[in-house]
Amino acid sequence: MTSHTRDGAVPWPPEDAARYRAKGYWEDKPLGAYILEAADRFPERTALVDGDARISYRELADRMDAAAGRLLDLGLRQDDRILVQLPNCWQFTVLTLACFRAGIVPVMALPAHRQFELSYLAELSESRAIAVRDTIKDFSHQDLAKHIAAGTPAMSHVLVSGRVDQGNVDLDALLAPGGDPINARKQFDAAAPAGDDTACFLLSGGTTGLPKLITRTHNDYAYNIKATSAVTNVTADTVYLGTLPVSHNFPLACPGILGVLFAGGRVVMLPSPEPGKAFAAIEREGVTLCTAVPAVVQRWLEYRQETDRQETDRQETDQLETLEVLQVGGSRLADEIARKVKPVLGATLQQVFGMAEGLINMTRLDDPEDVVCTTQGRPVSEADEIRIVDESGTDLPDGVAGAILTRGPYTPRGYYRADEHNARAFTPDGWYGSGDIVERRPDGNLVVQGRDKDMINRGGEKISAEEIESLVYRLDAVTLAAAVSMPDALLGEKLCLFVTLKPGTALTLSDVQESLRRTGVAAFKIPEKLVVVDEIPTTKVGKINKKQLREEVARMLQASGNTG
Ligand code: AMP
């Protein structure tokens, strides 16, 4: 028996929950119901596109209810968890919606995760199934999934899209349309999850060790989606392309694929942000809204400028003609890059500063250029509460940078089964501290100035320094380890590892990389530079002085002519 997710979740205090309901933020309507409303309004319209696969709203509704039924046939029940590790493909979306309908909770793992992360997530969430693509870039996720299942007592099913080994479940068949959509719909309408039931588990960026699970309820996630959809002006005419892994909150629900499907728009699934492919998809589908991290935007700008140069004499149609809005977030977008977006790509830039833990800030589509290009916007909801505080927790005036604290109708009050961590990440009265250092301008817009958390933000993918350090300590030679960020022109930051070694031992970067690979960690977390030192500097209170190390590696890169 697995435990109920409610037992590990931290609910909003009843008075806040009552207020959110009274204000209409929480509608006590399960996420699947919003999709069905769209399907009723626009049955013939295309909901999902993935390569040659095109799925109408009618078919989407049919598939999701049929799949929900097949999940129950496998023996899964409401509140059971499925570890989902799929790339951007139609199967991800249909499976997620089927879970919402059946009240089964998808755990949103990243395609980059490996044994180390997946086994931990499977165990913490007590997942009863895992869903994967057979292989991605020659890596057998099917083999990995079998391995995870063998090591996870609660897990009894491996669902595979593609070539399915014996004993595993054919995910594509599980997601096929059913024969009786009307009755399937009745069945799941009657057994719909409650508004405050867990809808999905998102993963935290993680500052202490492995990622935490973030419990998002149907109520709070629906509101997240509705509030961001309103700010981004999503309608039935929106055609959306998410270029980030869709298990991230940003392309999933801000407004992302779910927001666009709520509205009756069209979602285009593309597994890679590579500019040639993305631009072709934008042109082919008439994409109007797109989500990217700064590193991707930079590649797009370069690609566009390059192709423009090559095509000056030719009368080419503009591939990006339909693109109205480009949302950028996940890490800080440099102001000078921001200023190029409209002139070079032709789309309105929307900066997004948010977190899977809840709070989403966005610039508005009609904001003046100064706001769009130099700030990360303001909360999407009038009910988002924000404080900027100093180290003692005292509120700071506008214009002074400090740590951001937040509460609101879509910012849960704690991580799943993480009491100790919650005591640090949340104040006793429920404010979440993301660890970002932010300045609030008098006009209410936020500017992210830095962060006070031990994390490396590698092109939007977050790496917990502590997680890597604890793995590096498994190497015999290492006496002290410190993972810090180093500047990188494209990704913003990469991971650099400082170590001290036992006398008479040696260690190379490839030793470290090989060891981490063997542990089975996601490739994006593997250090890209190693600095062996005699001593690692500490602060007055005896903590490793990471600020000094960051400065040191930045200096080293500059001296070697490698400015990142
Ligand atoms: P995640 O939950 O993975 O989306 O990570 C959330 C964290 O990403 C935030 O707490 C910030 O540290 C960082 N982040 C997200 N968007 C931005 C942005 N626009 N500018 C700077 N940092 C950002």
Residue 408's nearest CA partner among 344, 361, 474, 350 is 361
Tell whether ligand 1 has an atom less than 6 A from the beta carbon of residue 212.
no
Candidate from 2-11, 45-54, 390-399, 508-517 with smallest mean pLDDT = 2-11
pLDDT in tens, 147-157: 999 999 999 99
pTM of structure: 0.96
What's residue 98's pLDDT?
98
Tell whether ligand 1 has an atom less than 6 A from the beta carbon of residue 451.
yes
What's residue 449's pLDDT?
97
Contacts of 16-24 with CB under 8 Å at 24 or more apart are 16/409, 16/430, 17/196, 20/219, 20/223, 20/383, 20/409, 23/383, 23/409
What's residue 307's pLDDT?
86
pLDDT in tens, 181-206: 999 999 999 999 999 999 999 999 86
What's the chain's Rg over C-alpha atoms?
A: 23
Tell whether ligand 1 has an atom less than 6 A from the beta carbon of residue 329.
yes
CATH of 456-559, one of 3.40.50.970, 3.30.300.30, 3.30.1490.20, 3.30.70.1730: 3.30.300.30
Evaluate if residue 58 carries a pLDDT over 70.
yes
Evaluate if residue 38 carries a pLDDT over 90.
yes
Using pLDDT thresholds of 50, 70 and 90, give the confidence band for residue 401.
very high
CATH of 29-193, one of 3.40.50.300, 3.40.50.980, 3.30.1360.120, 3.60.10.10: 3.40.50.980
- 74 close to 118: Cβ distance less than 8 angstroms: no
Domain boundaries, the chain: 29-193, 249-451, 456-559
3 state DSSP class of 431: coil
d(CA 463, CA 207): 7
What's residue 419's pLDDT?
95
3 state DSSP class of 112: coil
Expressed in angstroms and rounded, the spacing between residue 449 Cα and the centre of ligand 1 is 12
Tell whether ligand 1 has an atom less than 6 A from the beta carbon of residue 445.
no
Tell whether ligand 1 has an atom less than 6 A from the beta carbon of residue 337.
no
pLDDT in tens, 348-384: 999 999 999 999 999 999 999 999 999 999 999 999 9
Probe target for ligand 1 pocket from 250, 332, 361, 451, with the most ligand atoms within 8 Å of CB:
332
- Concatenating the DSSP letter of every residue in 35-49 gives HHHHHHH-TTSEEEE
Ligand 1, atom 20, lies closest to the CA of 332
d(CA 20, CA 18): 6
| Ligand 1 atom showing the smallest separation from residue 436 Cα | 12
- Concatenating the DSSP letter of every residue in 504-548 gives T----HHHHHHHHHHHT--GGGS-SEEEE-S---B-TTS-B-HHH
Candidate from 283-297, 304-318, 328-342 with smallest mean pLDDT = 304-318
Average pLDDT, the chain: 96
- 158 close to 143: Cβ distance less than 8 angstroms: no
- 348 close to 312: Cβ distance less than 8 angstroms: no
Phi, psi of 108 (to 5 degrees): -85, 80
How much is the average pLDDT of 76-80?
98
- Counting residues of the chain whose pLDDT is more than 90, the rounded percentage is 94
Tell whether ligand 1 has an atom less than 6 A from the beta carbon of residue 453.
no
Expressed in angstroms and rounded, the spacing between residue 314 Cα and the centre of ligand 1 is 41
How much is the average pLDDT of 39-66?
98
Using pLDDT thresholds of 50, 70 and 90, give the confidence band for residue 207.
low
In CATH terms, are 29-193 and 249-451 the same topology?
A: yes
Probe target for ligand 1 pocket from 436, 447, 461, with the most ligand atoms within 8 Å of CB:
436
CATH number of 249-451: 3.40.50.12780
Tell whether ligand 1 has an atom less than 6 A from the beta carbon of residue 359.
no
Which three-class secondary structure string do you get for 354-421?
EECCEEEEECCCCCCHHHHHHCCCEECCCCCEEEEECCCCCECCCCCCEEEEEEECCECCCCCCCHHH
Using pLDDT thresholds of 50, 70 and 90, give the confidence band for residue 563.
low
Using pLDDT thresholds of 50, 70 and 90, give the confidence band for residue 564.
low
Probe target for ligand 1 pocket from 447, 462, 463, 464, with the most ligand atoms within 8 Å of CB:
462
pLDDT in tens, 527-560: 999 999 999 999 988 899 999 999 999 999 999 9
- 62 close to 76: Cβ distance less than 8 angstroms: no
Expressed in angstroms and rounded, the spacing between residue 403 Cα and the centre of ligand 1 is 13
How much is the average pLDDT of 389-407?
97
Evaluate if residue 315 carries a pLDDT over 50.
no
Cis peptide preceding 255, ω within 30 of 0: yes
Tell whether ligand 1 has an atom less than 6 A from the beta carbon of residue 462.
yes
Ligand 1, atom 6, lies closest to the CA of 355
Burial class (CB in 10 A: 0-12, 13-18, 19+), 47: buried
Expressed in angstroms and rounded, the spacing between residue 295 Cα and the centre of ligand 1 is 14
- 196 close to 218: Cβ distance less than 8 angstroms: yes
Phi, psi of 514 (to 5 degrees): -65, -40
Expressed in angstroms and rounded, the spacing between residue 360 Cα and the centre of ligand 1 is 10
What's residue 276's pLDDT?
96
Evaluate if residue 438 carries a pLDDT over 90.
yes
pLDDT in tens, 230-284: 999 999 999 999 889 999 999 999 999 999 999 999 999 999 999 999 999 999 9
